[in-house]
């Protein structure tokens, strides 16, 4: 700690777990003076129950306790989606290197030996609280919706739709949305938001599965002013050999416990990492162009989805006009697929090329244009039912535009 810098107090709720009442009083007194709300528990079992019930901002955990020791409590906290991201500091008289390593292996974020000096305890707590705030950890319900955008045919606009969908969701609900680029070779999601590839899947590829934790994943997300956070494709394709389906599943599990929406930009294949993304998805957007080759690959994709037992109701068809005229009639395509097309994207090559070159999706750059409005409306359609049924306390401009267009369409019908 820099001695001559004035420290800003960081308030919050802290759960202290220790079977020694004197230690609990010392911790409570030291941190209570700093403006923290202190909740205590006198054994590991009670501590775990209070952590799950109260979801404190920080947990201070003793090691040697009856029923459940500190290592067991910490390990259980990390396995529980509700408590997995709460910072944990071990406070114990066991100060050997082996004991510290055991604590970190269990999921502890910090370690402080007894007896402690109050100022040292306060400094450690402040550091952990600042780190928690600096990660921008979202405070949303832990049941994020995963939406995959996919096609077996390249060049039909999968990345364009994924970027606009992610951006539209973030702008609609004023909540961070994650765009996961699983096009591991030359994925362009970061470029389409004009963001540098400073962090990417490459930072996670060689990491052991057990080390891929929420703080680590959040640290590699790129952030855009729209509220979109991007897990970018690595600029070093050779790292992809270390990225497994199991790691993708782990990362998506972490993201769904922290963010309301996760959009997947998928490659045109059924490799292990692609299947991991599809398996985790609540909705699959299957993109096609109005030509015979794309219809054929779409039939193939639908057959694979059926074999994988994906429910038909989670699959939506989007037809993208990537050429100005000469495409197959919509009715013929729907007859061949045995399914209805849910959305048609009109031919808009100039807007799409401009968006790519500028690094700003149409739903962000030209939200009030017909194309921007189309993406906004589609993002609303794919939103959670809990969001669609309830008016936000502070409606965004995007939400107001969507509702206004809906009301105008209803008025025309009546």
Domains within the chain, CATH numbers bracketed: 13-134 (3.40.50.2300), 145-413 (3.40.50.300)
Instruction: Identify which of 375, 329, 328, 330 has the alpha carbon closest to the alpha carbon of residue 348.
Output: 375
The better pLDDT of the pair 3, 123 is held by 123
Q: What is the pLDDT of residue 51?
A: 92
- Predicted local distance difference test score (pLDDT) of residue 344: 95
Strand ranges for 114-181 from DSSP E: 145-150, 177-181
pLDDT tens-digit series, residues 361-388: 999 989 999 999 999 999 999 999 999 9
Listed in sequence order, the residues at least 6 apart from 273 whose beta carbon sits closer than 8 Å to its beta carbon are: 182, 184, 243, 244, 245, 248
Task: Give the whole-angstrom CA distance, residue 296 versus residue 369.
Answer: 32
pLDDT at residue 8, as a whole number:
37
Cα torsion for 232, 274, 218, 40, to the nearest 10°? 180
Q: Give the per-residue pLDDT at 97.
A: 64
Asked whether residue 314 carries a pLDDT value surpassing 50, the answer given is: yes
User: What average pLDDT score do residues 192-219 get?
Assistant: 92
Lowest mean pLDDT of 64-73, 112-121, 219-228, name the range: 112-121
What is the pLDDT, as a whole number, of residue 128? 80
Q: What is the pLDDT of residues 55-78, one digit of tens each?
A: 999 999 998 888 888 899 998 998
pLDDT at 35: 84
Give the model confidence (pLDDT) of 229-281 as tens digits: 999 999 998 998 899 999 999 999 999 999 999 999 999 999 999 999 999 99
Q: Locate 32 and state its tokens.
A: 């209570």
Half-sphere exposure of 12 toward its Cβ, with a 13 Å CA cutoff? 22
pLDDT at 11: 63
Please state the rounded mean pLDDT for residues 108-132: 80
Residue 6 reports pLDDT greater than 50? no
Q: Which among 172, 224, 226 has a CA at the least distance from the CA of 194?
A: 224
The conformation of residue 59, written as its DSSP 8-state character, comes to E
Question: What's the whole-number average pLDDT of the chain?
Answer: 89
Residues 6 or more apart whose Cβ sits within 8 Å of residue 130: 10
Our CA angle for 215, 257, 373, nearest 5°, is 105
- 71-85, 264-278, 330-344, 385-399: lowest mean pLDDT where? 71-85
Query: Cα–Cα distances in Å, from 411 out to 379, 405, 408?
Result: 22, 10, 5
pLDDT at 131 over 80: no
* pLDDT exceeds cutoff 90 at 296: yes
d(CA 60, CA 405) in angstroms, rounded, equals 51
Interatomic CA distance for residues 363 and 94, integer angstroms: 56
What does the pLDDT average to over 157-169?
97
pLDDT of 195 over the 60 cut:
yes
pLDDT mean over 21-40 = 89
At 132, is the pLDDT very low, low, confident or very high (cuts 50, 70, 90)?
Answer: low
pLDDT at 291 > cutoff 90: yes
Q: Which residue has the tokens 């292996």?
A: 105
């Amino acid at each position: 700690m820099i001695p001559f810098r004035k420290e800003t107090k960081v308030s919050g709720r802290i759960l202290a777990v220790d079977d020694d009442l004197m230690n609990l009083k010392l911790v409570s007194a030291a941190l209570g003076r700093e403006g923290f709300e202190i909740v205590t528990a006198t054994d590991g079992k009670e501590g775990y129950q209070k952590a799950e019930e109260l979801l404190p901002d920080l947990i201070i955990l003793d090691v040697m306790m009856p029923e459940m020791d500190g290592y067991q409590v910490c390990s259980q906290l990390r396995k529980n989606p509700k408590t997995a991201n709460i910072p944990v500091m071990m406070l114990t008289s066991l100060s050997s290197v082996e004991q510290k390593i055991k604590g970190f292996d269990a999921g502890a974020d910090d370690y402080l030996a007894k007896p402690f000096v109050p100022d040292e305890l306060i400094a450690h707590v402040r550091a952990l609280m600042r780190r928690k705030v600096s990660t921008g950890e979202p405070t949303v319900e832990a049941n994020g919706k995963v939406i995959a955008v996919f096609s077996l045919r390249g060049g039909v606009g999968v990345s364009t739709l994924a970027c606009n969908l992610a951006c539209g969701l973030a702008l609609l609900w004023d909540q961070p949305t994650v765009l996961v680029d699983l096009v591991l070779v030359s994925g362009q999601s970061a470029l389409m938001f004009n963001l540098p590839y400073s962090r990417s899947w490459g930072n996670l590829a060689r990491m052991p599965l057990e080390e891929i934790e929420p703080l680590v994943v959040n640290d590699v997300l790129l952030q855009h002013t729209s509220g979109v956070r991007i897990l970018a494709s690595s600029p070093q394709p050779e790292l992809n050999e270390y990225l497994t389906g199991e790691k993708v599943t782990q990362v998506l599990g972490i993201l769904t416990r922290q963010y309301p929406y996760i959009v997947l930009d998928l490659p045109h294949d059924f490799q292990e990492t692609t299947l991991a993304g599809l398996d985790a998805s609540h909705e699959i957007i299957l993109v096609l162009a109005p030509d015979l080759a794309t219809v054929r690959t779409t039939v193939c994709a639908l057959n694979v989805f059926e074999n994988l037992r994906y429910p038909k109701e989670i699959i939506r068809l989007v037809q993208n006009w990537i050429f100005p005229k000469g495409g197959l009639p919509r009715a013929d395509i729907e007859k061949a697929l045995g399914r209805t097309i849910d959305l048609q994207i009109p031919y808009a090559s100039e807007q799409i090329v401009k968006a790519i070159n500028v690094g700003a999706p149409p739903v962000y750059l030209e939200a009030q244009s017909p194309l921007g409005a189309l993406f906004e409306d589609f993002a609303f359609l794919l939103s959670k039912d809990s969001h669609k049924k309830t008016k936000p306390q502070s409606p965004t401009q995007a939400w107001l535009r969507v509702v206004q267009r809906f009301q105008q369409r209803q008025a025309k019908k009546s």
